[in-house]
Each structure stands twice: as structure tokens, then as C-alpha cells.
Amino acid sequence: MRDPDGLIARAGVRGDPDRDQHFLVDDRVLDRLPTYLPELDADTTHLLEIGGGTGVLTDRLLEIADEVTVVERDRTLAAFLREEFADEIAVGRLTVIEGDALEVELPPFTASVSNLPYGVSSEITFRLLPEQRPLVLMFQQEFAERMVAEPGTPEYGRLSVSTQHYADAELVESIPKEAFSPPPAVQSAVVRLEPRDPDYEVDDEEFFLRFVKALFTQRRKTIRNAIRNTAHISGLEEPDAVVEAAGEDVLRKRAGAMAPAEFAALAQLAADVSEIGDGQ
């Protein structure tokens, strides 16, 4: 197994906090990350890694996968990965894609294990989640706690509902700052996301997610007022018609107390009784 410090030395680079570069260097953490893939249904035929860095995690993924694809936006690091892993590339076990993970075409993959660039972790996650593949992703601790939060807790919000719409989310490990070089300003955490269909139905997923976003912008207001105040976000043409059609027990609640299934039922009702525009 390649040594993290040795890889950094050979790459001739240093992490740069200004560029959201913090290299994971703790061997024990690196060894554990692939083990968080769901044991029963994780297909490791083709693993995707976003943000390969110096290849410390790549090296471990190659131990368990038939094929690995790494996306790395830093030109210097992408060139280093192609040089360091030339043998694996030559036999078709590793592909290095140089570019932004939000813009490049992603290959078909069976699962992803990634230490994400924190500045774009949300956008990358919501590019991966609709693919319905097992994910083991590292985030800032606070972000991870919001992803897995349950209704009625302070951390519960739009991120919780949107994440749990696609997958069962579990925070499996908190990672200290010292596991990175250079240490980031905040603690990190690993989240396991197991894809599954929600226990409710929505006809228009795009509207459902936009509707949830709208109501959480007014999380201190009752649902009654939040519906009326956020039509410019949700795109509802007739918010008053939605309020009139909804039950009083729902209208008295606040967004933070609404389970995902309740949001889905309300969004479905809203779509049925009101025209929907593009929103903002």
C-alpha cells in the first residue's frame, strides 16, 4: 500500500486551503473508508472517486475494485496520478479524468467512495444521488449532520429532506482535523448513502425539491404563511388555493417538523390545485 506522505512528497505538492485542498494522510482512516460500502449489495466492479488528490484513496480502492475512475480538477495532480499509477492505467484498471466533477461526463459506476472538495460537496452529492448507487462520501461535520438529521431536530432542513429523498443516510465516522494535511478549520465526517426509493410518490420531482426549498426559507413561519410567502421560489401560481385545500393540522406546522412524506403529500396537493411556473 502506498504511503500517504510518500505520495505527497513524490507529487511535490502541498495542500492549499485557499483552493479547498486538504490531503487525507491518516492510514487508519484511509483503510476504513472502503469498508463503509454496504456489505450485502455494494458492487465494486467500477468505483468512482471524486477528487483523487495524490492517490492515497485511489490506491486503496484499486485493492477492492475491478476498475476505478478518478476525477481530478487540478492539472498537476491529474498528471501525477497518470504517472504514479501508469501500470494500473496501462492494464485498464484505472482511468484518470482531468476536469471539474460538476462538468465532466461521468462514466457508469457501481459505487463511489470520495473525499469531496468541501466547497462544492453539495453540488457534487446531488449530481451523484440521482444515479442510485451506494456512496461513501466525506463532508464537513456540520454538513454531514444536516444530511442525516430527523424532523424536529435543529439540524433538520432542506438538505435532510433532499438527501433522504434519494437514500438512507448514516453518519458512520467523525474525522479529526489532524487526519489531514494541512488540517482544515473544521472537523469532517463520513456519510454512507444507500440508494432506495422513497416511501411516498411524487409526480414531479423537480417541483417537490423546489417546494421543499421554498418552505425551508421560511422555517420559522407556519406552513400556511410559508406557502403564501414563497410562491416566487416554488413557482405556485395560486398559493392561496393550496392553503385552502390543505388540512389545518399541516398548515399549523413549521417546516422543521414536517417529515419528507408530509412534504411529498403537500407538494402533490399543491401541484393538483395550483398551476406551477418556473419559480426562481
What letter would DSSP give residue 276?
B
Query: Is 194 known to sit in a ligand binding site?
Result: no
- Angle, helices 260-273/158-166, rounded to nearest 10 degrees: 90
Which residue in this structure is represented by grid cell 486538504? 22
Q: How far apart are CA 54 and CA 45, in angstroms?
A: 22
- In degrees, to the nearest 5, what angle opens at C-alpha 69 toward C-alphas 67 and 73? 165
Summary count for the chain: helices (H), strands (E): 14, 9
Query: Is 100 known to sit in a ligand binding site?
Result: yes
Query: Is 22 known to sit in a ligand binding site?
Result: yes
Q: Where are the alpha helices (DSSP H) in the chain?
A: 4-11, 27-32, 56-64, 75-84, 86-90, 121-128, 141-148, 158-166, 205-216, 223-229, 231-234, 239-245, 248-251, 260-273
Q: How far apart are CA 10 and CA 80, in angstroms?
A: 8
- Name, in order, each residue with C-beta under 8 angstroms of 259's C-beta and a sequence gap of 6 or more: 151
Residue type at 227?
I
The residue among 209, 211, 198, 197 whose CA lies nearest residue 273 is 211
Query: Is 115 known to sit in a ligand binding site?
Result: yes
Grouping H, G, I as helix, E, B as strand and the rest as coil, residue 113 is: strand
What letter would DSSP give residue 99?
S
Which residues line the annotated binding site? Answer: 22, 24, 51, 72, 100, 115
Which residues line the annotated binding site for S-adenosyl-L-methionine? Answer: 22, 24, 51, 72, 100, 115
